[in-house]
Amino acid sequence: MLLQLALRQSSRACGRCSGAALPRAYTSASALHWPRSASPEFTTDRIRNFSVIAHIDHGKSTLADRLLEMTGTISKRSSNKQVLDKLEVERERGITVKAQTASMIYEHKGTRYLLNLIDTPGHVDFSYEVSRSLSACQGTLLLVDACQGIQAQTVANFFLAFSQDLTIIPVINKVASLYVVCAIDMVAADPERIARQMESAFDVDASEALKVSAKTGINVDQILPAVIERIPSPVGDREKPLRALLFDSWYDQYVGVVCLVAIKDGQLRKGDRIVSSHTENKYEAMEVGLMYPEQVPTGALYAGQVGYVVCSMKNAKEAHIGDTFYRLKHPVEPLPGFEPAKSMVFAGIYPVDADDFAQLEESIVKLTLNDASVNVQKETSLALGQGWRLGFLGTLHLDVFRQRLEQEYAASVIVTQPTVPFKVVMKDGKEVLIRTPADFPSPEHIPHHVSELQEPMVLATLIFPSEYLGPMMELCGTRRGEQQEYQYLDDHRVMIKYKLPLAEIVTDFYDELKSRSSGFASFDYEEIGYQESDLVKMDVLLNGKPVDALATVLHRSQIQVVGRDWAKRLKGVIQRQLFEVAIQTAVGSRVIARETVPAMRKNVTAKCYGGDVTRKMKLLNKQREGKKRMKRLGSVDLPQEAFLTLMNKGGSTGGR
């Protein structure tokens, strides 16, 4: 009986993988239940702003579902599965990409509280979303899976919250449901061991950790009382002049830019005239309200509250994340804002059809408003025409951005091979940052003008079961890694830290990591500056003509392997022409590898049934001369699959 129950619940748990569209767990009608007149009632001492942080797939969004149900914000339905994951790409991939805010009303010991919950992403590529979300909070729930334990992003998120002096409540998830749903994981699950692990790694009291099951809802009712009792209320004064921090924004096709703000001081009412500290532009607050979990107009926001404002901002470029809004004629000291996100991976994005350039540009502007960590610069390629060089926080970030362009804006784009930013130190001491291989100095230029070439380095943190120590050290060693730290978290789990070149981890490193550890290893990294390296630029030539969009910068030790691999890959995707196509990879004038796509041959002698052999030879010689002329004057059509083949290297970006 127990096994049948486990199988039934397991099948329901896997229902979201079936590919069918999931019904919405709430409708706009649910917004009607918000007591609009109650907003002034919630003074700062009756407000709690908190977020949920964790490693990917530890149950953040499921826990958010249960909290929203428990407070009556959404109705209890079987279809409530990650209701705050509103993007199509999030539901398809089963991950959170965009932080989402939801307000709740909860009564505790006879007093009603306004709770603002922010559900954050768990992947390292979206850590900028987490850092911005934490700026609007006074505390956070640190969620850890009872089966998997502490993972790499758990460590990173903890120190991110700790650096902002937030109250951290440890929560161990998937505890009660282990004996029903995850019966297969009962041997591996040990909540007490995980609690001791958190105490050892984070110096938190193991007895204070809440043990819950977000899927079944067991012990979830302990979380909100703990939030109210442990997390401090926001500091703010309604009587002071308005100070509002802009920490997120998105574009609405009907009202323009919608700004998500945290009110630090004062009040923001509908009809108020406000000013941006960054641009000094003046706006009128057309609509003010809370996310419940959709937009619900309340007419006003007060100190300590987190909500949205529609202020007739029509140009997406006017919204600057970290900006401070104040009331007209009542200037205030701007809030510190955020440290700008540092792009770690760059790639070129071009429209498939050159006529779609203007439309694609508008789509990119709107999408970058929703994702402030993307760096955008225009560039031109001889092979692909006009496009953009975009900077991302990682390869998954790049792949999600491309998918959102295609799904939300129906854009058809070509994405080039991702690269990392290199630094060139000139002999006169000047430093030049190279974001695209086209700007890399030529071999003839380097000896006379360049002092050294540098590549970005990262400090990678890997956490995995101890039996995989050998394969993990071998993987990092083959990627030019240097071991920095080695530590046992408990009797079974190891944490190692390696200094690695960023270029080594933006391709297929994650896939190799999961493959060699049977999926148990987790991975996180942080930038630690630049280091001198022996770098070279490898060109791809088609019939002797370089294709700038396929050029890349590599370490000298890799050019033989990568050069041969790329030539073979391109031979498989370039279609046969009426003339022979020579594919070469080269460093300067030195050819590394060559592959040849044979020409399509028309049988020009098919109708010569008799006569002297010179008749056939004349036709064949004429065909040969024509092919030489076509090879000299003709152009090779490079399909989009060529760029995808070189970028994916077996699908590394899509599988993260």
**Window from 61-65, 180-184, 370-374 with minimum mean pLDDT:** 180-184
pLDDT at 637: 60
pLDDT at 69 over 90: no
Task: With cut-offs at 50, 70 and 90, classify the pLDDT of residue 31.
Answer: very low
Summarize the confidence of residues 286-300 as an average pLDDT.
89
> What pLDDT score does 47 carry?
92
Distance CA 546, CA 645 (A): 18
Tell me: pLDDT of 26 over 70: no
Selected residue with higher pLDDT from 594 and 315: 594
Q: Which residue has the higher pLDDT, 7 or 556?
A: 556
Helix (H) or strand (E) segment spanning residue 113:
strand 111-119
Enter the DSSP assignment of 359. H
Q: The pTM is what?
A: 0.71
Supply the pLDDT for residue 598: 83
What are the b/e assignments for 502-519, b being 16+ CB within 10 Å?
A: bbbbbbbbbbbbbebbee
Q: What band does 225 get if pLDDT is binned at 50, 70 and 90?
A: very high
Least confident of 6-20, 140-154, 320-334, 637-651: 6-20
Q: Is 477 helix (H, G, I), strand (E, B) or coil?
A: helix
**What pLDDT, on the 0 to 100 scale, is given for residue 636?**
60
Read off the pLDDT of each residue in 574-601 and give the average, rounded to a whole number: 83
pLDDT at residue 390 in the model: 86
C-alpha distances in Å from residue 426, one per residue of 72, 126, 266, 423, 531: 63, 34, 52, 10, 15
Q: Phi and psi (nearest 5°) for 254?
A: -95, -40
**pLDDT score of 338 more than 50:** yes
What is the reported pLDDT for 411? Answer: 86
Least confident of 76-85, 379-388, 462-471, 575-584: 76-85
Window from 3-12, 57-66, 466-475, 633-642 with minimum mean pLDDT = 3-12
Q: What is the rounded CA–CA span in Å between residue 86 and residue 97? A: 10
- For 510-555, the pLDDT digits (tens) are 778 878 887 778 888 888 889 999 888 898 888 888 887 788 888 8
Cis peptide before 639 (omega within 30 of 0): no
pLDDT at 293 (0 to 100)? 83
CATH number of the domain at 345-415, out of 3.40.190.10, 3.40.710.10, 1.20.1200.10, 3.30.70.870? 3.30.70.870
Cα(373)–Cα(532) distance, rounded to whole angstroms?
Answer: 27
Single-letter residue type at 598: P
Stretch among 60-69, 220-229, 459-468, 504-513 having the lowest mean pLDDT: 504-513
Token digits of residue 437: 């291989």
Quick one: how far is CA 417 from the chain centroid? 17
What radius of gyration do the chain's Cα atoms show?
Answer: 29
- Phi and psi at residue 106, in whole multiples of 5°? -135, 135
Calculate the alpha carbon distances from 498 to 117, 153, 154, 528, 656 in Å: 35, 15, 18, 11, 20
> How is domain 243-327 classified at the architecture level of CATH?
Beta Barrel (2.40)
- Give dist(CA 76, CA 142) in Å, integer: 25
pLDDT at 651: 38
- Is the pLDDT at 356 greater than 90? The verdict is no
Q: Which of 400, 492, 420 is nearest to 187 (CA)?
A: 492
Mean pLDDT of the chain: 79
- Any idea which residue has 């809004």 for tokens? 325
The CA distances from residue 285 to 83, 292, 297, 302, in Å, are 28, 19, 12, 14
- Fold classified for 2-230: Rossmann fold (3.40.50)
User: How much is the pLDDT for 242?
Assistant: 92
- Considering only residues 499 and 636, tell me which one the structure prediction assigns the higher pLDDT: 499
Q: For the domain bounded by 422-533, which CATH number is listed?
A: 3.30.70.240
What is the C-alpha to C-alpha distance for residues 186 and 3, in angstroms, rounded to an integer? 13
Position 257, amino acid: V
In the annotated binding site for GTP, the residues are 54-61, 119-123
Please compute the mean of the pLDDT values over residues 423-452 and round it to a whole number.
84
Domain segments of the chain: what residues?
Answer: 2-230, 243-327, 345-415, 422-533, 536-648
Evaluated on CA atoms 559, 511, 640, 599, the torsion sign reads positive
Query: For 167-224, what is each residue's pLDDT tens digit?
Result: 999 998 877 544 444 433 344 557 888 888 888 888 888 788 888 888 888 888 999 9
Beta 139-145 vs 47-54: how paired, if at all?
parallel
Single-letter code of the amino acid located at 139: G
Taking residues 257-279, what's their average pLDDT?
90
CATH for the stretch 536-648: 3.30.70.2570
Binding site: which residues? 54-61, 119-123
Q: What angle do CA 69, 160, 293 make, to 5 degrees?
A: 25
Using CA of residue 319, residue 322, residue 326, residue 331, what is the dihedral sign? negative
| Per-residue model confidence (pLDDT) at position 497 | 92
243-327 and 422-533: identical CATH topology: no
pLDDT at 648: 57
